[in-house]
Amino acid sequence: MRYIFHCDLNNFYASVECNENPSLRGKPVAVCGSEEDRHGIVLAKNYIAKNYGIKTGDTIWQAKQKCPGIVCVTANHSLYLKYSRLVRQTYYDYTDRIEPFGIDEAWLDMTGSVKNFSEAENLASELRKRVREELGVTISVGVSFCKVFAKLGSDYKKPDATTIITPENFKEIVWPLPASDLLYVGRATAEKLQKLNIKTIGELANFDADLLHYHLGKVGTMLQTFARGEQVEEVRRFCEHSEIKSVGNSLTYYKDVVSREDISALFMLLAESVIARMKSYGFVRARNISISITDNNLQTFSKMMKMNPVCGTANALAGYAIQLFDKCFTYSSKIRALGIHVSDFCEGEQVSFYEPQTARQKQENIENAVEKLRGRFGRNSVQRAIMLTDEKLKNISIIDDHVVTPSFKEHPDNYSAVSPI
């Protein structure tokens, strides 16, 4: 029997802000992006704000309409990262088998520390108390025999609570929950399950396996395994380098993007950031690219494809991003934000003996030389001509606000397959 904890920091961003600034306690608080830079949406809120109907993704003006007295605080990501590391350090006092799931969640394998679920519950209570008293924020802990049910447990009762899900009680606790509560069931998958008249996790667990596979493929089989409590995946030890399975960046621009020139410039900016970071982690090339597009109605969608040949330069990555963009976007609305992610890293590739590699190698050599200059004289000391078309664009250094996405956080609904170019 394994004893898996899933620890989830409650209202993390808002809790950190209230802990750092005690005058915010007892008030409705929303952590928001910068209005000046058009990131003006609610990223997180405390429970008081939640009671007013404020949701993550609301614009600031919507939040103020719902709650005129709300206090809006600009997000401070470096502070949240600091707290995340402090909390994780507390986890290390109990186990070295820790698998982060974003900045505010983690699985812990406590099998070596407890002998039964009663001891596990006591240990979870001790852990919650330490985080609350030593760091001033709270966690909810789900305890179970598999990772999926442990995560459901941390969501089951909030804030600052422990939920125990055992082989004996999981059907009573888990199966009545909506199917959309299950890990990796996003909006698109939930809609497919709804069409099959699958509303709860229990109905998913007991659905005809062949029919489910016919409609959802291997994702359906995986989800049914989760619903039945048959997941056997272990908690993986955290190692910063090995856990990085994808690297990406996104940018919300200060104005609506409507021209191809602006799109090309933004993709080039993003590509340089992504390639620079990819190589800083020791990766040479990547096989997969995904782009995300957010329009001015805050609707976001993503597309993914394999790059052939594999990509190791910003110039090539931007080219792939633009081609993928042309395949999936029709300019039916204005664009607010763009993003690029790369994954499936590799050292090189098998190529034909007759294929000329000179041009690609020259491009890599040029970009490597430019990165050395930037490392010595500053990020913006050497810029592409396309960046000079916009005064604000040439002064942006988004490499300092990067996003690193471990593959286990990825979601079957996040991407739609596109044929390789």
Q: Is the peptide bond before 68 cis (omega within 30 degrees of 0)?
A: no
C-alpha separations of 389 from 197, 395, 408 in Å: 53, 11, 38
Phi-psi region of 11 (alpha: psi -120 to 50; beta: other; left: phi over 0): left
> Rounded to an integer, what distance in angstroms lies between the CA atom of residue 27 and that of residue 46?
9
Residue 400 has, within 13 A of its CA and on its CB side, a CA count of 7
C-alpha distance across the termini of the chain, in Å: 47
Q: Is 346 helix (H, G, I), strand (E, B) or coil?
A: strand
Angle, alpha carbons 403-143-176 (nearest 5°): 95
> Rounded to an integer, what distance in angstroms lies between the CA atom of residue 105 and that of residue 91?
11
DSSP state string for 20-88: H-GGGTTS-EEEE--TTTT--BEEEE-HHHHTTT--TT-BHHHHHHH-TTPEEEE--HHHHHHHHHHHH
> Rounded to an integer, what distance in angstroms lies between the CA atom of residue 268 and that of residue 310?
17
83, with CB counted inside 10 A (0-12, 13-18, 19+), is buried
One-letter amino acid for residue 171 of the chain: K
| 105 is an active site residue | yes
Torsion, Cα 39 276 335 380, to 10 degrees, reads 70
Question: Which residue has tokens 């898996």?
Answer: 4
The active-site residue, picked from 17, 99, 105, 371, is 105
Q: Which is it for the CA torsion 34, 36, 39, 43, positive or negative? A: positive
C-alpha separations of 404 from 93, 147, 183, 400, 420 in Å: 26, 22, 20, 12, 24
Q: Is 107 helix (H, G, I), strand (E, B) or coil?
A: strand
- Pick from 339, 337, 334: which is nearest to 324 by CA? 339
Q: Which of the residues are catalytic?
A: 105
